[in-house]
Amino acid sequence: MAHEPLSQEDVLLEGFLALDTPEGFRAELIEGEIVVTPPPDGDHEDYIELIVQQVYRRSRTDMQFSGNKGLKLGKAEGCPKDHLIPDGTFAPRTLRLYRGAEPWMPCQGGSMVLEVTSTRPKADREVKRHCYARGGIPLYLLIDRDTSEATLLGDPRGDDYRQRCTVPFGKPLTLPEPFAFDLETSDFL
């Protein structure tokens, strides 16, 4: 029985899934490009921890957090399905989305993704924003260390978000339901 030849998309996806990245590095497949990023610095991790603590303490909905699970998202035209590893993903604890041995999970059920800019800030501001919107992630929280701003994007439509709220570090940023609290950013200064 003859097998159909693999498409370029299939070959890229197979090669990506077979990668063995060094410990601490992250490999992502973003709009048809394999991107490997080095381990984050301490300030990057500090921002994430500050946000996670506020969500756990103040969110109206009991949330789970993952900084390691990758998301399988909608695909850009002519590219295989995107595989991104956000700096953080929040989902209602009742859904228990992070169970299982599979390193890549579908994005359905996630409430918010978090990115803190590091080595590729333009990718966090633009490319990943489009990927998360295509995947239907309701909220995208971007902590931009270069501009000292926190941006919350909401209402995904197509490959972008229709709502945007940006505040300078030091000002609170309102997180809507299911979080329903003001994220304090003064510790980011």
Whether 100 maps to a domain, the answer reads yes
Q: What is the pLDDT of residue 103?
A: 83
Band (pLDDT 50/70/90 cuts) for residue 187 is very high
Is 115 part of any domain? Answer: yes
What is this structure's pTM? 0.91
- In this prediction, residue 2 carries a pLDDT of 61
In a domain, 77, yes or no: yes
Query: How far apart, in whole angstroms, are the C-alpha atoms of residue 69 and residue 10?
Result: 22
Query: What per-residue confidence (pLDDT) applies to 142?
Result: 98
What pLDDT is recorded for position 96? 92
Handedness of CA 166, 170, 174, 180 (dihedral sign): positive
pLDDT 10s digits, 124-172: 999 999 999 999 999 999 999 999 999 999 999 999 999 999 999 999 9
The tally of domains found in the chain comes to 1
- Domain-embedded: residue 183: yes
- As beta bridge partners, residue 181 has 175
**Domain annotation covers residue 29:** no
Please return the burial class of 160, using the count of CB atoms within 10 Å of its CB with bins 0-12, 13-18 and 19+: middle
Range of the domain at 171: 41-188
Q: Which tens digits make up the pLDDT trace of 77-124? A: 776 788 999 999 999 999 998 888 788 888 899 999 999 998 889 999
Q: Indicate whether 27 belongs to any domain.
A: no
Average pLDDT over residues 33-44: 91
Q: Does residue 143 sit within a domain? A: yes
Establish if 9 belongs to a structural domain.
Answer: no
Task: State the CATH number of the domain containing residue 110.
Answer: 3.90.1570.10
